[in-house]
């Protein structure tokens, strides 16, 4: 089946040819005929199956066949990036049609958006929050709206946009055609479809299942080693472009700084960034200027980026549907891709739900063991070089001195093989080298003999020193002995004096006696 079978306008057919659309995807093949009949559609298809074309192509066709003044179609999307992507596809497909569209999203000039609404562009692509802000300031005329499209309805529900969506729908004409597309179909979406749609046709293409073209892996890892494992995977896995998903805006900024420090060229995108920064980063990634982009779930839904070959869930997604949307960024349009999820202890509960859903297609690997493997350590070759201090046999051969034999006086050569297998060569007619070396040995003996007298003189000087030391010691001992004799004589004299001295008497008589001198 080709697009020519839909009998589209020539200007629209030219736009399809410009962007290379020849055959419709399954969701397009089922949805476009129903939409061209004017019926409401509730479409459920996995991400990356061409849902955007499934509603843009029939809307352009119907506006061309039934022209009118003012705005004819309103498309609501959950994120700015998705809204911009839809607007780009409208521009590409409707390039030859003369139809115009405008985006009403946050982060862009509010006044310019108001001018576009007043001018009555053919198609408005908006996020619910910014459109509500414009409705508070402007008295927007929605009376000409013929088509309402809700893209990624389940995502708008998750982001809390459902009250804003209901408020916008209340301002629209009831006589309209409504198309709702969603990757999942929770009860709230089914309830909303009954309230705002008129007997919708249900189109379903494999809801909440990963594409078969995606190889799914999960690595159990210590949370502190996630960065090392990410570097290892980027080195080992073959990829052309990579999206790394994080759980928080802060985590996105931190991971970007860490990878930039490691010398890896990356970009990042999340809700707190200015729209100009977000658009610049996304375009750089699409154009291949930046091979890696780090993002929150802003990029998980509806963003059409070609040739994404690797997805890394740095943080485990909160729900199974978010996991399906993340890994759906790769393996698109009959191409293959790899989706990797890093799981630490904190993520075990969240991961169990994902594992139960895609158990057959998921391979669980020990990430800690992968990091500790030899190929993962870049320092090991350096350590081996440090240990390898002993020269190799080749180095030994290079270090050995070359022998250049003198063949001038030789009359012949005699070769003999030893027991160990080595060959030895003997020059015939050459004078013996041993006899020539004998005089040298005699000279050495002479030198030794000359050195002997010097040694005798040294030994004699040492003996004289020892003799002098002994004499000095004897003299010191004699002096000490003389001193001790003198001391004994003085002690004896003192003891004799004490014996002759008068002893003091006791009592009164002793006092009287002591007053008289001794004769």
The DSSP secondary structure of 2-35, one letter per residue, reads -GGGG---HHHHHHHHHTT--S--HHHHHHHHHH
Question: Which positions ≥6 away from 363 have C-beta within 8 Å?
Answer: 215, 216, 217, 218
pLDDT band per the 50, 70, 90 thresholds, residue 500: low
pLDDT, residue 1, reads 83
pLDDT band per the 50, 70, 90 thresholds, residue 98: very high
Q: What is the mean pLDDT of residues 331-335?
A: 75
* Residue 472 pLDDT greater than 70, yes or no: no
Q: What is the mean pLDDT of residues 308-323?
A: 89
pLDDT band per the 50, 70, 90 thresholds, residue 127: very high
* Residue 390 pLDDT greater than 50, yes or no: no
pLDDT, residue 290, reads 93
Q: What is the mean pLDDT of residues 252-273?
A: 88
Q: Do 3-205 and 214-376 fold alike per CATH?
A: yes
**% of the chain exceeding 90 in pLDDT:** 41
Q: How far are the Cα atoms of 6, 85, 309, 312 from residue 22, in angstroms, in the given order?
A: 12, 20, 24, 32
Q: How far are the Cα atoms of 90, 334, 471, 472 from residue 477, in angstroms, in the given order?
A: 123, 113, 10, 9
Distance CA 75, CA 126 (A): 6
pLDDT digits (tens, 9 = 90+) for 338-352: 999 999 999 988 899
User: CATH assignment of 3-205, given 3.40.630.40, 3.40.30.10, 3.40.50.300, 1.10.3720.10?
Assistant: 3.40.50.300
Q: Are 294 and 264 in contact (CB under 8 A)?
A: no
* Residue 386 pLDDT greater than 60, yes or no: no
pLDDT band per the 50, 70, 90 thresholds, residue 492: low
Q: What are the φ and ψ backbone dihedral angles of 216, each rounded to 5 degrees?
A: -105, 130
CATH for 214-376?
A: 3.40.50.300
pLDDT digits (tens, 9 = 90+) for 171-210: 999 999 999 998 778 888 899 999 999 999 999 876 455 6
Distance CA 22, CA 367 (A): 43
Q: Are 154 and 300 in contact (CB under 8 A)?
A: no
Distance CA 368, CA 434 (A): 69
Q: Are 173 and 11 in contact (CB under 8 A)?
A: no
Q: What is the mean pLDDT of residues 54-60?
A: 96
Residue of 192, 226, 483 whose CA lies nearest to 371: 226
Across all residues in the chain, what is the average pLDDT? Answer: 79
pLDDT band per the 50, 70, 90 thresholds, residue 497: low
* Residue 361 pLDDT greater than 70, yes or no: yes
* Residue 448 pLDDT greater than 60, yes or no: no
pLDDT band per the 50, 70, 90 thresholds, residue 113: very high
pLDDT, residue 182, reads 85
pLDDT digits (tens, 9 = 90+) for 61-92: 999 999 989 999 999 999 888 898 899 899 99
Question: Which positions ≥6 away from 505 have C-beta within 8 Å?
Answer: 511, 513, 514
**% of the chain exceeding 70 in pLDDT:** 69
With tokens 């809307």, the residue in question is 59
Task: Give the residue with greater pLDDT, 287 vs 415.
Answer: 287
Distance CA 107, CA 298 (A): 15
* Residue 187 CA, distance from chain mean position: 39
Q: Among 90-99, 422-431, 477-486, which range has the highest average pLDDT? A: 90-99
pTM for this predicted structure: 0.57
pLDDT digits (tens, 9 = 90+) for 365-374: 999 899 888 6
Task: Give the residue with greater pLDDT, 514 vs 112.
Answer: 112
Distance CA 281, CA 255 (A): 16
pLDDT band per the 50, 70, 90 thresholds, residue 303: low
pLDDT band per the 50, 70, 90 thresholds, residue 499: low
Q: Which of 14-28, 126-140, 251-265, 294-308 has the lowest mean pLDDT?
A: 294-308
pLDDT band per the 50, 70, 90 thresholds, residue 382: very low
Domain definitions of the chain by residue range: 3-205, 214-376
pLDDT band per the 50, 70, 90 thresholds, residue 28: very high
pLDDT, residue 329, reads 84
pLDDT, residue 450, reads 44
Distance CA 312, CA 326 (A): 9
Q: How many CB atoms lie within 10 A of CB 113?
A: 21
- What three-state secondary structure class fits 15? helix
pLDDT, residue 220, reads 95
Task: Give the residue with greater pLDDT, 101 vs 496.
Answer: 101
For residue 451 the two structure tokens come to: 């050195």
pLDDT, residue 185, reads 83
* Residue 8 pLDDT greater than 90, yes or no: yes
Q: Are 331 and 337 in contact (CB under 8 A)?
A: yes
pLDDT, residue 406, reads 58
Distance CA 320, CA 341 (A): 13
* Residue 445 pLDDT greater than 70, yes or no: no
């Amino acid at each position: 089946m080709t697009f020519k079978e839909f009998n589209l306008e020539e200007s629209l057919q030219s736009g399809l040819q410009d962007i290379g659309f020849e055959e419709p995807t399954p969701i397009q093949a089922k949805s476009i005929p129903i939409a061209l009949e004017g019926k409401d559609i509730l479409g459920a298809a996995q991400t990356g199956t061409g849902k955007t074309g499934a509603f843009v192509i029939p809307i352009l066709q119907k506006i061309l066949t039934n022209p009118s003044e003012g705005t004819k179609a309103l498309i609501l999307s959950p994120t700015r990036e998705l809204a911009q992507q839809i607007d780009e596809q409208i521009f590409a497909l409707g390039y030859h049609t003369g139809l115009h569209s405008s985006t009403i999203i946050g982060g862009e000039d509010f006044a310019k958006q108001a001018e576009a609404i007043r001018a009555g562009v053919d198609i408005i692509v908006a996020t619910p929050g910014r459109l509500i802000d414009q409705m508070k300031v402007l008295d927007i005329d929605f009376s000409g709206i013929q088509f309402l499209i809700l893209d990624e309805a389940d995502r708008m529900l998750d982001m809390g946009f459902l009250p804003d969506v209901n408020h916008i729908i209340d301002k629209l004409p009831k006589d309209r055609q409504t198309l709702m597309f969603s990757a999942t179909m929770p009860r709230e979406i089914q309830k909303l479809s009954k309230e705002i749609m008129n007997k919708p046709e249900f189109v379903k293409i494999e809801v909440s299942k990963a594409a078969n073209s995606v190889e799914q892996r999960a690595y159990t890892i210590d949370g502190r080693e996630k960065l090392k494992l990410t570097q290892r995977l980027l080195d080992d896995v073959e990829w052309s472009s990579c999206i790394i998903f994080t759980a928080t805006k802060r985590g996105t900024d931190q991971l970007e700084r860490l990878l930039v420090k490691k010398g890896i060229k990356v970009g990042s995108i999340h809700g707190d960034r200015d729209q100009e920064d977000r658009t610049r980063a996304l375009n750089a990634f699409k154009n291949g200027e930046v091979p890696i982009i780090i993002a929150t779930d802003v990029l998980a839904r509806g963003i059409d980026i070609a040739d994404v070959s690797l997805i890394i869930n740095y943080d485990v997604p909160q729900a199974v549907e978010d996991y399906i949307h993340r890994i759906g960024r790769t393996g698109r349009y009959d191409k293959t891709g790899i989706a990797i999820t890093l799981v630490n202890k904190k993520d075990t509960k969240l991961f169990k739900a994902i594992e139960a859903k895609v158990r057959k297609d998921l391979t669980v690997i020990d990430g800690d063991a992968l990091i500790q493997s030899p190929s993962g350590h870049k320092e090991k070759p350096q350590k081996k070089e440090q240990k390898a201090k002993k020269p190799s046999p080749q180095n030994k051969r290079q270090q050995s001195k070359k022998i250049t034999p003198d063949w001038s006086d030789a009359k012949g050569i005699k070769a003999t093989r030893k027991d160990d297998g080595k060959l030895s060569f003997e020059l015939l007619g050459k004078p013996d080298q041993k006899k020539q070396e004998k005089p040298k040995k005699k000279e050495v003996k002479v030198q030794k003999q000359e050195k002997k007298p010097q040694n005798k003189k040294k030994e004699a000087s040492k003996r004289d020193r020892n003799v002098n030391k002994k004499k000095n010691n004897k003299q010191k001992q004699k002096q000490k002995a003389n001193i001790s004799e003198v001391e004994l004589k003085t002690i004896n004299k003192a003891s004799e004096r004490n014996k002759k001295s008068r002893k003091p008497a006791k009592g009164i008589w002793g006092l009287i006696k002591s007053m008289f001198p001794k004769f």
